[in-house]
Amino acid sequence: MILFASDFDSTLRFVDENHKGYYKEADVKAIEQFRKDGHIFGICTGRPLHGMDEDLKGAPEVDYVIASSGGLITSIENGDYHILHEKTIPLQSVMEIYEKSEALGYQIYVHGDGYVYSVDHRRPHYENQIVLKSLEELNHSHITGISIWTMEDDTAAAFTKQLNSEIDDISAYQNRNWMDIVPEGVSKGTGVIKAMELFHCDHTVCIGDSYNDIPMLVDGEMSFTFHSSPEEVKEAADFVVDTIAEAIEIAIEKLK
Q: pTM of this prediction? A: 0.90
| Residues contacting 47, CB < 8 A, separation 6+ | 8, 9, 67, 68, 111, 116, 147
pLDDT band of residue 129 (cuts 50, 70, 90) is: confident
Give yes or no: residues 81 and 132 share one domain: no
The CB density around residue 126, as the number of other CB atoms within 10 Å, is 14
- Report the number of distinct structural domains present in the chain: 2
- Average pLDDT rounded to a whole number, residues 224-253: 97
My answer on whether 70 and 193 are in the same domain is yes
End-of-domain residue from the set 121, 154, 183:
183
The CA-based angle 194-225-76, given to 5 degrees, is 40
User: Are 14 and 65 within one domain?
Assistant: yes
pLDDT at position 98:
92
- Give the pLDDT of residue 150: 94
pLDDT of residue 46: 92
Is 183:71 a contact under the CB 8 Å cutoff? Answer: yes
Average pLDDT over residues 11-40: 95
Handedness of CA 89, 13, 73, 196 (dihedral sign): negative
Contact call for residues 161 and 151 (beta carbons, < 8 A):
no
- Please report the pLDDT score of residue 78 as a whole number: 86
Whether 176 and 95 share a structural domain: yes
pLDDT at 79: 84
Last residue in a domain, options 154, 183, 212: 183
pLDDT at 205: 98
Q: What is the pLDDT of residues 147-160, one digit of tens each?
A: 999 999 999 999 99
The CATH number of whichever domain residue 136 belongs to comes to 3.30.1240.10
3-state helix/strand/coil string of 112-163: ECCEEEEECCCCCCCCCCEEECCHHHHCCCCEEEEEEECCCHHHHHHHHHHH
CATH of the domain at 210: 3.40.50.1000
For residues 117 and 176, state if they share a domain. yes
Given a contact cutoff of 8 angstroms between Cβ atoms, the answer to whether 55 and 17 are in contact is no
The residues, ordered by sequence, that sit 6+ positions from 197 with a Cβ below 8 Å of its Cβ are none
Q: Output the pLDDT for position 123.
A: 65
Coil, strand or helix: which one is 202?
coil
On whether both 96 and 148 belong to a single domain, the answer is: yes
Residues 112 and 168 in one domain: yes
Per-residue pLDDT at 126: 63
118 in the same domain as 101: yes
Whole-number percent of the chain with pLDDT over 90: 83
Distance CA 101, CA 163 (A): 10
> Could you tell me the pLDDT band of residue 127, with boundaries at 50, 70 and 90?
low
**How far apart, in Å, are the Cα atoms of 146 and each of 27, 115, 116?**
29, 11, 9
Residue 226 parent element (H or E): strand 222-226
Same domain, 63 and 177: no
| Separation of alpha carbons 255 and 1, rounded Å | 9
Categorize the per-residue pLDDT at 36 as very low, low, confident or very high, splitting at 50, 70 and 90: very high
Secondary structure of residue 189 in the 3-state scheme: helix
Say whether both 142 and 127 belong to one domain: yes
Q: Give the range of the structural domain holding residue 178, as residue numbers without chain letter.
A: 91-183
Model confidence band, residue 142 (pLDDT cutoffs 50, 70, 90): very high
Q: How does 185-201 read in b/e, with b if 16+ C-beta sit within 10 Å?
A: ebbbbbbbbbbbeebeb
Q: For 210-232, what is the mean pLDDT?
A: 96
Asked if the model's pLDDT at residue 122 lies above 80, the reply is no
Burial (CB < 10 A; 0-12, 13-18, 19+), residue 78, is exposed
Instruction: Give the pLDDT confidence of 43-57 residue by residue, as tens digits.
Output: 999 999 998 988 998
Query: Which of the listed residues 161, 183, 205 is the one where a domain comes to its end?
Result: 183
174 and 105 share a domain? yes
Please check whether residues 111 and 178 belong to one and the same domain. yes
**Mean pLDDT over the full length of the chain:** 93
The number of residues in the chain equals 256
User: Per mean pLDDT, which range of 109-113, 133-137, 153-157, 191-195 is the poorest?
Assistant: 133-137
Q: How far apart are CA 15 and CA 152, in angstroms?
A: 19
